[in-house]
Amino acid sequence: MQPRKRLLTTVTGAAIGLLWCASALLAETGETSAQTARLISVDGAITEILYALGGEAQLVGVDTTSLYPDATEDIAKVGYKRALSAEGILSLNPDRLLMTDDAGPPEVLEQIARAGVDTHPIPDTPSVAGLHETIAAVAEVLDRTEAGAALSAQLDDELAQLEAATERSSKRPRLLFLLHIGSGNDMAAGRDTAADTVIRLAGGENVLHDAFSGYKPLSAEAALAAAPEVILVTQRNLEQLGGLDAVLERGALQATPAGQARRVLAMDGPLLLAFGPRLAVAAAQLASELGIIDEETDERSGLTAGQP
């Protein structure tokens, strides 16, 4: 072989080798970055999903709505999801900020993005289909798509068990969910809310499902017209307001069927409203409290409040 041909063969072989090494390195780097990226979650459901998928070691910060599991207490807090601070977030040196559409303020998110942090939006529609999308999106960020598919399959199985249990009951209680925010008006849940979906999965009826979408202030007239049989609140709100009597004194609730029967149910807020992997657990607990399913059925299905 002539020297020039030998040189060309050698250079070509070396180039191919370098390209192969570079491709392998890029593939390895991509996988490693997904599974070692420093993450901040500013949504309770996203945080729960991260834990359920085994990505908790990557969490360096969470917002104040991230209350479950208890291990989140040991993670740095970056404030409320709608009132974030760029300084607090950037001080944790994150690679990605996982957030929902209601995170903000927008100018803070822009500042964080300009600093080189990937501000990664995660869908959060409060429906079963929407939760599957949320799980898939978080799983993709973690490069744990198989784990995400398994978690979604587990959710479907739990919901199927719950549906079978609730269908055996003829009880369909009418519920009104109230959310007390600071010193403002009480907000009632219409359709397209986590509370509405949990109520319906539990076998109940949200009295304001057809009235409006989202949360709206509740007037005395609307409360009377809705005629709820049960008033549902979070445990924290019940304590903030001063107990059952204080809840019934608000608006015209005392005159409703629920008020006359003094039927107020309080549930753990993060369980009821986070709308994460424990969705079936939340609905099963509510169904049990309403007497739609019995405790034995709840235990037999494995849907206990302590399940991650």
Task: Give residue-wise pLDDT tens across range 188-247.
Answer: 999 999 999 999 999 999 999 999 999 999 999 999 999 999 999 999 999 999 999 999
When pLDDT is cut at 50, 70 and 90, the band that residue 20 belongs to is: very low
Burial class from Cβ neighbours inside 10 Å (0-12, 13-18, 19+) for residue 212 reads middle
Here the tokens at position 40 are 């901040």
Least confidently predicted of 24-28, 127-131, 142-146, 255-259: 24-28
Least confidently predicted of 11-20, 31-40, 171-180, 293-302: 11-20
Whether the per-residue pLDDT at 26 is higher than 90: the answer is no
Mean pLDDT of the chain: 88
| Spatial separation of the C-alpha atoms in residues 285 and 62, rounded to whole Å | 26
- In order of their start, the domains of the chain are 39-122 (3.40.50.1980), 170-301 (3.40.50.1980)
When pLDDT is cut at 50, 70 and 90, the band that residue 180 belongs to is: confident
Mean pLDDT value of segment 251-269: 95
Whether the per-residue pLDDT at 159 is higher than 70: the answer is yes
Mean pLDDT value of segment 137-148: 97
Mean pLDDT value of segment 140-154: 98
Whether the per-residue pLDDT at 259 is higher than 50: the answer is yes
In this prediction, residue 63 carries a pLDDT of 97
Least confidently predicted of 14-18, 146-150, 163-167: 14-18
Strands (DSSP E) along the chain, which ranges?
39-41, 59-62, 96-99, 118-121, 174-180, 186-189, 205-206, 215-217, 230-234, 264-267
Whether the per-residue pLDDT at 5 is higher than 70: the answer is no
Share of the chain above pLDDT 70, in %: 84
| Spatial separation of the C-alpha atoms in residues 103 and 89, rounded to whole Å | 13
In this prediction, residue 149 carries a pLDDT of 99
* 3-class SS of residue 267: strand
Task: Give residues with Cβ within 8 angstroms of 139, minimum separation 6.
Answer: 49, 53, 145, 147, 148, 149, 151
Least confidently predicted of 59-73, 99-113, 238-252, 284-298: 284-298
Least confidently predicted of 71-75, 86-90, 179-183, 256-260: 179-183
Task: Give residues with Cβ within 8 angstroms of 73, minimum separation 6.
Answer: none
In this prediction, residue 34 carries a pLDDT of 83
In this prediction, residue 307 carries a pLDDT of 46
Least confidently predicted of 19-33, 79-93, 276-290: 19-33
Task: Give residue-wise pLDDT tens across range 186-200.
Answer: 899 999 999 999 999
* Strands 174-180 and 205-206, bridge-based pairing: parallel
Whether the per-residue pLDDT at 183 is higher than 80: the answer is no
Cα-based angle 279, 66, 161 (whole degrees, multiple of 5): 10
H, E, C per residue of 108-171: HHHHHHHCCCEEEECCCCCCHHHHHHHHHHHHHHHCCHHHHHHHHHHHHHHHHHHHHHHHCCCC
45 to 88, 151, 292: CA distances (angstroms): 21, 14, 26
Mean pLDDT value of segment 83-100: 97
When pLDDT is cut at 50, 70 and 90, the band that residue 18 belongs to is: very low
Burial class from Cβ neighbours inside 10 Å (0-12, 13-18, 19+) for residue 24 reads exposed
